[in-house]
Amino acid sequence: MRLRKKWWARPYMEENLLCIVEPREYKGRWKEAFNNNNEIYLELGCGRGDFVTNIAQKNPEKNYVAIDLKDEVIAIALKKITESEVENIRISPLQIAFINEVFDKDEIGRIYINFCNPWPKDRHKKRRLTHTRFLTKYKEFLKPNSQIWFKTDDDELFVESLDYFKECGFEIEFMTYDLHKSGFDKNIVTEYESKFLKLGINIKFLIAKLK
Ligand SMILES: C[S@@+](CC[C@H](N)C(=O)[O-])C[C@H]1O[C@@H](n2cnc3c(N)ncnc32)[C@H](O)[C@@H]1O
């Protein structure tokens, strides 16, 4: 996602209580960030925040942590979350490669990965958010039997991710090569998803459960 540098982004993030600028400080005590004991779900690569805002509004009994790399993107999402007045979201800037430094054992109940970069070249595949290198990190903080919900437009990433999940001890509970014709009724469309839908590209989707 290419965005022009926004000089207001960092100060805006630092003064907004919904943004956790130093997420490592919350390791093992994310419940304190929400002031309740509700289960916490995680979205990796949240982009402009449409998905997390909608899902959090629909599920007030859950808490959501949304992560993205760039301040420019975080600031846009943060504005959306703030204006929606939804209280069960916290958002943090983070390189996902360091995600296991931020959450403790059994701290997260579900992960959403929506339209991550497919990194098609062989030498870059280790950067995929579904690669075994990343799944191994997620397992450090996912509760037993929790799920990862993964959506993509990219066929090769999807097929190879099926192997990554199985290799890391996940069971594929649900999968479809055409989400919008599958009858699955809990989908929330993301910004990238709506672009791909307009182009007539099928959305691939799976739910992987930690055994
Ligand atoms: C293709 S966009 C998808 C955005 C959104 N999930 C959607 O479906 O509309 C991918 C997002 O993931 C973020 N991202 C990619 N790699 C990341 C990483 N290693 N750490 C943190 N964020 C990352 C990007 O900044 C971008 O906002």
CATH number (domain holding residue 129): 3.40.50.150
Q: According to the model, what pLDDT value does residue 100 have?
A: 97
Q: According to the model, what pLDDT value does residue 11 have?
A: 94
Question: 73: CA distance to ligand 1 center in Å?
Answer: 9
Q: According to the model, what pLDDT value does residue 168 have?
A: 98
Q: Judge whether 171 lies within some domain.
A: yes
Q: According to the model, what pLDDT value does residue 3 have?
A: 63
Q: Judge whether 4 lies within some domain.
A: no
Burial of 38 (0-12, 13-18, 19+ CB in 10 A): middle
Mean pLDDT by 10 residues, the chain (211 residues): 74 96 98 97 98 98 97 96 97 98 98 98 98 98 98 98 98 98 98 98 98 87
Q: Which atom of ligand 1 is nearest to the CA of 94?
A: 21
Question: 111: CA distance to ligand 1 center in Å?
Answer: 14
Q: Judge whether 1 lies within some domain.
A: no
Q: Judge whether 197 lies within some domain.
A: yes
| Cβ–ligand 1 contact at 160 (below 6 Å) | no
Q: How many domains does the chain have?
A: 1
Q: Judge whether 112 lies within some domain.
A: yes
Question: 94: CA distance to ligand 1 center in Å?
Answer: 11
Q: Judge whether 118 lies within some domain.
A: yes
Per-residue CA distances from 46 to 35, 88, 105, 166 (Å):
23, 15, 22, 25
Q: Judge whether 2 lies within some domain.
A: no
| Cβ–ligand 1 contact at 49 (below 6 Å) | no
**CB–CB of 137/174 below 8 Å?**
no
Phi/psi of residue 29, nearest 5 degrees:
-140, 35
Q: According to the model, what pLDDT value does residue 6 have?
A: 76
Q: Judge whether 18 lies within some domain.
A: yes
Enclosing domain of residue 149: 9-210
Q: According to the model, what pLDDT value does residue 91 have?
A: 98
**CB–CB of 55/188 below 8 Å?**
yes
160 is in an annotated binding site: no
Query: Which residue has the least CA distance to atom 27 on ligand 1?
Result: 47
Question: 60: CA distance to ligand 1 center in Å?
Answer: 24
Q: According to the model, what pLDDT value does residue 7 have?
A: 78
